[in-house]
Amino acid sequence: MAKAQMMFPAGFRWGTATAAYQVEGHNTHSDWWAWEQVDGRILHNHKAGQASNWWANAEADLDAAAHMGTNAHRLSLEWSRIEPEPSVFDQNALDRYRQILQALHDRGIEPMVTLHHFSNPLWLVEKGDFNSQIVVSYFQRYTAKVVAALGDLIPLWITINEPMVYMFMRYLVGAFPAPQKKGLLAGMEAVKHMLLCHAAAYHTIKDSYPAAQVGVAKNFPVFQAKPGSYFPARWWAGQVNFWFNELWMQAMVNGRLRTFIGSTPIANLAGSFDFVGVNYYTRFYVKFPPLGGFYDPSWGPEAVVSDGHYGEVYPAGLYQVIQNALNYHKPIYITENGLPDEDDDLRPSFILTHLREVWRAISFCYPVMGYYHWSLVDNFEWDRGWTQRFGLISLDPETQARDMRPSGRLYRDICHLNGISSEMAAQYTPALLATMFPGESPQSPAWQG
């Protein structure tokens, strides 16, 4: 008799995800590189340095990804490498990206490519980047260059990663490299320009490759009022959810951006996405009034919280955000999901419980096409430097020594089975066996053969 298994459909994408600046190393023309040089901006003044050494040797980790049995990987291109000076395109950089994309194909790993993942060429910042409409024609031209040089190797595209996180961290919190103008109004202007950039890139890609699938990776946190809160907090949670989660999506659906006083039409935007990219990490209890931070990090005593108070482990939220994504009537990809957990004591159960939610969604015929775990290997975590380790593979950034974490071995077993099983729970996270697979145990009849 077989042990209990939750199987995924044939062809399901089992992936991992990375971003250029975080893994490549020495992206000296990026605004992040300049930003890092000033003390006090990155936790412990960490530097990206050679990062995970992908510019020199992405292939080492891609070998590991192939060994794990993954068939998909999400990576990004660094605009500042491809166009280090305005209108100067670096053919060597494009050639290296071609090599990396070919290396993925050679290993049976389908690439999903992000054009903009939190990092800008320095020259673009000097010109005002997303504060100014000029960004749209620059982004369109960069996209056209990438399409011409690499498009034949890219079936799946993300134009912009987490636009609302980018706006929030950059224009409101100030933890990401500075735009020319900050504040809410400048941030909303940037959202408008990001939407225009997205639309321009979408059509540029589709004009040359109509069969390419193009979307956005949108971070969808679950926002809730703390249980037992009164009406204002619940109302506020709804507002935060609307502005952070819904605003961007509604704009992509109907081509109009809601503003505080009405709405603005955005040219060529309506319907310009082929799938919904869901980045899901955690739930936030929003505070009302939102003084001293918009969320309340005092999770209940029962909450499981990942390294550095990054967030609560809340797998049910993944199911919730998948259900919300059904509103957009497009295929869904889980383009990021993971947690910082250096000693890997939470990640195995994190992976199994989140994948159970994906399986539940698929068992209701919700169109979830793939899951990309963030991340394949430890990498430079933006303003949090090297303090947060998201990798299935651990990395010492000094020596570049790597080690597969137990969760990496679990992910390998998952990819090879095309599903999750009670046996995996028993092996990697025994405490989960009884709750996730009730009635299953090494003593149960099914296990006795």
Binding positions for ligand FCB, rule: CB under 6 A: 19, 22, 161-162, 165, 219, 279, 336, 374, 381-382, 390
172 to 166, 179, 197, 285: CA distances (angstroms): 10, 11, 21, 19
What's the one-letter identity of residue 140? Q
CB of 113 to ligand FCB, least distance (A): 14
CB of 118 to ligand FCB, least distance (A): 6
Residue closest to 8 by CA, chosen among 61, 71, 63, 64: 71
CB of 404 to ligand FCB, least distance (A): 20
Residues 448, 33 contacting (CB under 8 angstroms): no
**Cβ proximity to ligand FCB, 280 vs 288, nearer residue:** 280
Residues 21, 118 contacting (CB under 8 angstroms): yes
Tokens coding 281: 């990490």
Residue whose CB is nearest to ligand FCB in the complex, by number: 19
**Cβ proximity to ligand FCB, 33 vs 390, nearer residue:** 390
Residues 169, 109 contacting (CB under 8 angstroms): no
**Cβ proximity to ligand FCB, 164 vs 432, nearer residue:** 164
**Cβ proximity to ligand FCB, 165 vs 276, nearer residue:** 165
CB of 391 to ligand FCB, least distance (A): 11
CB of 387 to ligand FCB, least distance (A): 12
CA distance 253 to 250: 5
Residues 103, 172 contacting (CB under 8 angstroms): no
Tokens coding 348: 């195995």
Torsion angle of alpha carbons 307, 375, 212, 100, nearest 10°? 150
CB of 114 to ligand FCB, least distance (A): 9
Residue closest to 394 by CA, chosen among 408, 412, 414: 408
Those residues whose C-beta lies under 8 Å from the C-beta of residue 401, and which sit 6 or more positions away, are 395
Strand 368-374 versus strand 283-286 pairing type? unpaired
CB of 157 to ligand FCB, least distance (A): 16
**Cβ proximity to ligand FCB, 319 vs 374, nearer residue:** 374
**Cβ proximity to ligand FCB, 129 vs 307, nearer residue:** 307
**Cβ proximity to ligand FCB, 390 vs 437, nearer residue:** 390
**Cβ proximity to ligand FCB, 172 vs 426, nearer residue:** 172
Helix/strand number for the chain, H first, E second = 16, 16
CB of 201 to ligand FCB, least distance (A): 18
408 to 25, 69, 131, 313: CA distances (angstroms): 23, 11, 41, 18
Tokens coding 352: 């199994």
CB of 63 to ligand FCB, least distance (A): 23
DSSP string, 99-141: HHHHHHHHTT-EEEEEEESS--BHHHHHTTGGGSTHHHHHHHH
**Cβ proximity to ligand FCB, 224 vs 388, nearer residue:** 388
CB of 198 to ligand FCB, least distance (A): 16
Collapsing DSSP states into helix, strand and coil, what is residue 263? strand
**Cβ proximity to ligand FCB, 277 vs 348, nearer residue:** 277
Tokens coding 412: 């390998």
